[in-house]
Structure 1
Amino acid sequence: MSDQRKAYVYALLAVGCWGTVAAAFKLSLRHVGSDALVLYSAAAALTFLFCVAMFTNTLSEVRRWRTGDYARSALLGALNPFLYYVVLFKAYDLLPAQEAQPLNFTWPVVLVVLSAILFRQPIRPVSYLALGVSFLGVVMIATHGNPFSFRLSDPLGVTLALASTIVWALYWLYSSNDRREPVNRLLMNFAFGFVLVLGYCVSADRLEPVGWRGLAGSVYIGLVEMGLAFVFWLKALRLSRTTAEVGNLIYLTPFLSLVVISLVVGEEILPATWAGLVLIVAGIIVQNRFGGTPRPVKRK
């Protein structure tokens, strides 16, 4: 099998992982609180990433890091897993999975806006079209297909789902040009993030006992969403001739996710959800093809 075909296989495995996790979020939240779910999932992911780093003999690089590298991981860990998943899981707790998942997928559009605000990167005219199309999709989903009613299904849940996209976009901007070994980088991000999650859960009295269903869901999320999907995607990018050849497969994720949500969680997917998701993805594709890619933050 050629390297490019292997890249497609790994990319599809990553998409398969991501396509199941929205359902896993919703099912797990039936058995454990959202903050505790972040804690237990992060612990599972941290264990998995440590095992991967040990197996690939890359941990020695960490000892050569400078103080700034550790500080960078502390900052990134505060964004992901700490803030990102605390906000995202609360959104899933309040919203149907079919709403939270597509709204969370709008982060590439948010990335364009943040790049313009924070780093004065110009927005091309076509990007305004992309933003408008995706925003219409958000409104369709959040209002259940009644955009002129101005009634959100759950204002706080929608706000949190969209806030999670801001956190993830910030994480992308500050991590995308990080030249450290990727597994080590994510491992240390999660190490710092786990400490923050633990401190938050203890101080806010969010620690709680968890039954086997909640524990199984936490482990699944930690291994699949936070760990395996990343490893598969990284492998796909390394084997592929170009990023674009596997990158386009990512658009399958939200549609696969809705199918899994319907089959596993039992939610009846509304026509407005499908229509809104098509608009969101269309806006993202227009932005990626014609609007240019925002530049990551340069290290000083």
Structure 2
Amino acid sequence: MKDQRQAMLLGLATVLLWSTAATAFKVSLAYLSPIALMFWASSFSILVLVGWQAWQGQLRASLTPGRRGMLLSIGFGLINPCLYYLLLFGAYDRLPAQEAMAINYTWALTLTYLAVPLLGHRLHLSDGIAGLVCYGGVFVIATRGDVLSFQLSDGAGVALALLSTLAWALYWIFNTRDTREPVAGLLLNFLFAWPLLLLLALYEGWQWPSWQGMAGAAWVGAFEMGIAFVLWLLAMKKATNTSRLSNLIFLSPPLSLVFVAVIVGEVIRPSTVVGLVMVVAGLYLQQRYRSQDAQ
């Protein structure tokens, strides 16, 4: 049954979990390599998704996808979790959490731009303005406020963060053609990607993580990769006004900065705040004008 109040509560819970992601990534990467974190977090995510599907009585159906479902799972699994999290964790490994997090939020704009050639969508003036504002914010963050120097604080880290937005946007564009039940599809993506993740972990040099690394990977896999996805789907199903629900996403960036400052101990740079405000403002303007066009 539709229930906007329940949808908003589920949405707030999801946003709270998303807001811990940057902190969890950075803390975990102090004990694990990006590949090791990707492997262990994906393993915990699989356990959570299997448990959810079993509780829903849909596990057997989820694990019998048919030939087309298997092929889709292999393809999607190569993007998410493999490519996306390899790029994202690589960015967090090189950049302060505040910078990697802020740049990663531009994925929604990347999605809009890629939808033009791949899905035949039209580009609006608001999309262009949003791009100038958002990527202007990225430049402020990447130069740590010294914009006239045109010198990036860590070019490779910034490139990895931007490439992760490309991978994530491609994943969601391809998902528009995916008719599988969303949670079942995500579970299969992770299951079919798991052997490759294991091979990468073995190739890198197998080491059992410390309890701190394991705890971090468990949080990332269970909550950021698994439970948050399920909660957001439930919120969308309950919502009578998806626009109000979607606006909750804008609470995540400032909450993320609070967690990064308090738990990770990073001193939040003024350039990060300015750049993040520009990124969020650009995304908000784009969403607002697109909503008006749709009415």
- TM-score range relative to shorter protein: over 0.9
Separation in 1 of the partners of 2:237 and 2:206? 39
Report % sequence identity.
40
Aligned to 2:243: 244
What does residue 296 of structure 1 align with? none
Counterpart of 2:289, as a letter, is: F
State the match for 2:255 in structure 1. 256
Cα distance in 2 between the residues matched to 1:139 and 1:224: 30
- What residue is the counterpart of 2:193 in the other structure? 193
The CA deviation at 1:64 is 5.6
Give the gaps of 5 or more residues in structure 1.
294-300
Match of 2:100, as an amino acid?
A
- Describe the superposition over 1:168-214 as per-residue Cα deviations: whole angstroms up to 9, x where unpaired: 00001011453322211111011112222112223x32432211000
> 1:282: how far off?
1.2
Q: Structure 1 residues 127, 190: closer, same or farther in 2, change over 3 A?
A: same
| Corresponding residue number in structure 1 for 2:39 | 39
SS of alignment partner, residue 152 of structure 2: coil
Q: What is aligned with 1:212?
A: 211
Task: Please say if residues 25 and 92 of structure 1, whose CA atoms lie closer than 8 Å, have aligned partners that are also in contact.
Answer: yes
- For residues 275 and 84 of structure 2, the distance between their equivalents in structure 1, rounded to whole angstroms, comes to 23
Q: Distance in 2 between matches of 1:194 and 1:110?
A: 27
4+ residue runs over 4 A deviation: none
Whether the aligned pair in 2 keeps the contact of 1:36 and 1:206 (CA below 8 Å) is no
Partner residue in 1 for 2:281: 282
Partner Cα separation in structure 2 for residue 120 and residue 182 of structure 1? 24
Matches within 5 A, 1:92-171: 92-171=92-171
Q: Please say if residues 22 and 101 of structure 2, whose CA atoms lie closer than 8 Å, have aligned partners that are also in contact.
A: yes
Q: Deviations over 1:102-146 (max 9, x none)?
A: 101100111122122434433122211111010101001111112
> 3-state SS of the aligned residue for 2:20?
helix
Of the structure 1 ranges 46-55 and 63-72, higher mean CA displacement relative to structure 2 is found in 63-72
Distance 1:63 1:285, change over 3 A: same
What's the TM-score once normalised by structure 2's chain length?
0.94
Alpha-carbon distance in structure 1 between the residues aligned to 2:260 and 2:279: 18
User: Would the aligned equivalents of 1:137 and 1:277 in 2 still touch at CA under 8 Å?
Assistant: yes
The amino acid that maps onto 1:230 is: F
CA displacement at 1:253 relative to structure 2? 0.8
Q: Distance in 2 between matches of 1:37 and 1:62?
A: 26
Provide the aligned length of Structure 1 versus Structure 2. 291
Question: Which structure 2 residue ranges, 5 or more long, are not aligned?
Answer: none
Instruction: Give distance in 2, aligned partners of 1:103 and 1:43.
Output: 27
CA RMSD of aligned residues (A): 1.7
